[in-house]
Amino acid sequence: MDYLEALKFIQKSGKFGSKLGLLNITNLMHELGDPQDKLRFVHVAGTNGKGSTALFISEILRSAGLKTGLYTSPFIYEFNERMKIDGKNIPDSDFSAVMEKVIAAINNMLKKNMEHPTEFEIITAAAFLYFYEQKCDVVVLEVGLGGRFDATNVIKNPLLCVITKIGIDHSEFLGNTLAEIAFEKCGIIKDGVFVVSYPDQRDEVIDEIKKNAALKNAQFAENDLSSLTIKKCDISGSNFSYKNMEVTLSQIGVYQILNAVTAINAALTLKNLGLNITEDNILSGLKNAKWPGRMEIISQNPVVILDGSHNADGIDAFVETAEKMLNGKKLICIFSMLKDKEYPYALCKLKNVTDDLILTEIASTRKASIDELLCEASGKFKNIYTEKDNEDAAKKALSLAKEDDVIVAIGSLYMLSDIKNAFLKNK
């Protein structure tokens, strides 16, 4: 089996849908010999900031000399981003090799009249097998959806559970209140395991986390922001002090500082658990961390930013960041979003910082159409343009922008690859 054949198998598995529950992944991992039981994990759940926080933790562990696996979703530019070891994407040949074993295991399941695994379950199983075969010291594991019934929750005894910022998203699966959603996310907490949380959760969320930790005799690491001092947070990055550490981030935004604080607390907890992590490892890891599609600057003069904020909290964080960083600069916004996301709310918030709005469409059957977006945007923005094609949207933004202006593409991770390629091609 070659790489493209392996990818096609995964894509075809999309027909089996997305199902929450651990039976399929448990059966599949048994067929593979349960490699996940032989690995050490840091398990990361939450609504926003999961990927960034997981990256920060993995870079700290990598800086400490630990062979570190990182499993995230979705990918932005290429599928192999989902499985990394020490910052490097899984090679095509390694992916093909583990997929051959996963497919053989699936065939054994089908012979036993078991249900076919879903796409996410298959990818998760392949990641577990890859990290085991490559003898990773620690794997930082990002939850796909929720936590309690997510395929990643097949693991038994993580070193540490991390809960990033929790907000309203995927309500059809996780619940309509913050407490209900927090309960699902807290499903990753295991007996006796330490728990670290994002330091600025809403009260009902932190209450739910503490309650679930207590039920599992898990030790909750209290957050203390009294030692946090933000010294710089602009379009070039951030500097802050926390627990007597002077931290530099290339990531943009106050929320990324708080994600970094979460990662620092995770690293200090892991140090207390016996991992050899120094302050220099923490500072170096955070400084080197770069994450695609999250306030990612891909060009200067004009500045072009890609940001995959796609829910209310993500949009709020972007608007807060823009208000603090633009300093009177004009913002040109390329926007699109999936139909089942909160695009009316997003457009209502973006009007406060956006001069020119360019509406475009995502290459997905779940897209919000230009007409639907325009209906919500009309009357809210000074100038509105419509370009169904992502490359045409990028060209339009470049034609409107002057040297000191800022262009941002925001609203969905699924359009960022096309947008980036269009900017790089036309710049």
Tens of pLDDT, residues 372-398: 999 999 999 999 999 999 999 999 999
More confident residue, 421 or 124: 124
pLDDT of residue 175: 66
pLDDT of residue 235: 80
Q: What mean pLDDT value characterizes the chain?
A: 92
Mapping DSSP onto H, E and C, the string for 323-338 reads: HHHCCCCCEEEEECCE
Q: Do domains 3-288 and 296-426 have the same CATH topology?
A: no
- What mean pLDDT comes out for the span 336-355? 91
Q: E strands, 191-349, where?
A: 194-197, 220-221, 229-234, 237-242, 245-249, 296-299, 303-307, 331-335
DSSP 54-113: HHHHHHHHHHTT--EEEE-SS-SS-GGGGEEETTEEPPHHHHHHHHHHHHHHHHHHHHTT
Highest-confidence segment of 159-163, 221-225, 287-291, 414-418: 159-163
Above 60 in pLDDT, residue 171?
Answer: no
Q: Does domain 3-288 have CATH number 3.40.1190.10?
A: yes
pLDDT of residue 273: 96
pLDDT of residue 266: 97
pLDDT of residue 427: 66
Residue 193 binned pLDDT confidence (cut-offs 50, 70, 90): very high
Above 60 in pLDDT, residue 170?
Answer: no
- What mean pLDDT comes out for the span 46-67? 96
Q: Please give the Cα distance from 381 to 212 (Å, whole number).
A: 44
Q: What is the share, in percent, of the chain residues with pLDDT greater than 90?
A: 73
Sheet-wide strand order for 303-307: 296-299, 303-307, 406-410, 331-335, 356-359, 383-386
Tell if the pTM clears 0.85, that is, is over it.
yes
- What mean pLDDT comes out for the span 52-77? 96
- What mean pLDDT comes out for the span 54-58? 98
pLDDT of residue 372: 94
pLDDT in tens, 246-262: 999 988 888 899 999 99
pLDDT in tens, 286-345: 999 988 888 888 888 888 999 988 788 889 888 988 887 777 789 999 999 988 888 999
Q: Residue ranges per domain, the chain?
A: 3-288, 296-426
Fold of the domain built from segment(s) 296-426: Protein-Tyrosine Phosphatase; Chain A (3.90.190)
